[in-house]
Copies of this chain bind each other. A is one copy, B any other.
């Protein structure tokens, strides 16, 4: 079955989902969670096939680890689905309402988006997470996972579809798109009118190509070149704690820090402590002249940074670093190199915090907190479908409300204009 035909089936399923009650949707989510655990054997067998195939093709060990499922990971997936069942239903929420001068009653309510396409890489747990969130918000989903996880994803989707059917909702609410052909991505991108939005989750290249080629509206996610700016009025102990956490607690994720900016008034003192600490944590610093000099005075080697370094999302134990003469220069640097994901300032100055939060344009701006908090779970959304770094529709961690659109209801008693 081609993607267009799948999308037509999604559209049909979406019309049913759109008016399904919360109770019914939550029953589906509970059934999905239970089925994942009951049918663990067939999922793990399929997963084993993916792992054997990847091992045979010299896939790096850390990627094979991301691919691997076990009973614990299935429990985590099931827990995630049950958690989504516990979240309030965004559909039907009244966002605004008023009675107009002429007596017309106006209400703006949340409605599902319709059909959501998700293009993602590697980890098969995303399959269950994304399916659960889309279903709860009343949407049908077309899942295009990576080819390396194709057997795992097929098994998971088969289990989830059966669970959806078991509560008499249409199983086509959750469909898997052929992961072995590149054409399936192209077809998804051209399914305007059938697919309401595409969410690419993955590397910068994937996201760029979808943005460039899709005629279906896209929500861009995830590239994070996040900065930590240590202001002249910073508490340097706090700054060091935040820097280490932002850089090293999980370097492979988009909300990890990739760049350090230090005000020149405190750079000698701060770098003399931060550079050895970063080295001890296993981080390579790519610095400007001032940082290189600070490194040599404390015996820590610093790699001279290029323009590419300041623009890089390393996703590794590397960080670029520069000394800036003022808050203004920090803001200009971030404006030039940042990816508008998360930018943090460490400062004791209310004036500096106010200017930084007002003038830095990003999905999230943190004051005296690690960049790592930009996350749907941390923000209390219960779950997230990704982190939008674009400005339209959704910006920052996307939870259930971001998977909806709106509709105006206009109720009169014969009103004409």
Q: Which residue of chain B lies nearest to A212 when distances are taken between CB atoms in the complex?
A: B215
Chain B proximity mask over A203-219: 1 for CB below 8 Å, otherwise 0: 00000000110010111
Question: In the complex the two chains form, is A406's CB within 8 Å of B416's CB?
Answer: no
Q: A82: shortest Cβ distance to chain B, in Å?
A: 20
Interface 9-residue window, one of A37-45, A119-127, A273-281, A387-395: A387-395
Q: Which residue of chain B lies nearest to A190 when distances are taken between CB atoms in the complex?
A: B212
Does A330 make an interface contact (CB < 8 A)?
no
Interface 9-residue window, one of A56-64, A293-301, A367-375: A367-375
Question: In the complex the two chains form, is B396's CB within 8 Å of A393's CB?
Answer: no
Q: Which residue of chain B lies nearest to A411 when distances are taken between CB atoms in the complex?
A: B367
Residues of chain B contacted by A379 (CB below 8 angstroms):
100, 106, 408
Q: A81: shortest Cβ distance to chain B, in Å?
A: 22
**Among B335, B363, B368, which residue has its beta carbon within 8 angstroms of that of A412?**
B368
Does A230 make an interface contact (CB < 8 A)?
no
Residues of chain B contacted by A410 (CB below 8 angstroms):
364-367, 369, 373-374
Given the interface contacts A100-B378, A100-B379, A217-B217, does A405 sit within 8 Å of B417 by beta carbon?
A: no
Q: Which residue of chain B lies nearest to A238 when distances are taken between CB atoms in the complex?
A: B414
| A318 to B365 CA separation, bound complex (whole angstroms) | 54
| A392 to B214 CA separation, bound complex (whole angstroms) | 15
**Among B335, B363, B393, B408, which residue has its beta carbon within 8 angstroms of that of A363?**
B408
Does A173 make an interface contact (CB < 8 A)?
no
> CB within 8 Å of B: which of A6-53?
15, 18-19
Question: In the complex the two chains form, is B335's CB within 8 Å of A15's CB?
Answer: yes
Most-contacted residue by chain B among A15, A111, A358, A391 (CB, 10 A): A391
Residues of chain B contacted by A104 (CB below 8 angstroms):
369, 373
Residues of chain B contacted by A238 (CB below 8 angstroms):
413-414
Question: In the complex the two chains form, is B408's CB within 8 Å of A378's CB?
Answer: no
5 closest A-B pairs by beta carbon, nearest first, are: A369-B412, A245-B416, A391-B405, A393-B393, A238-B414
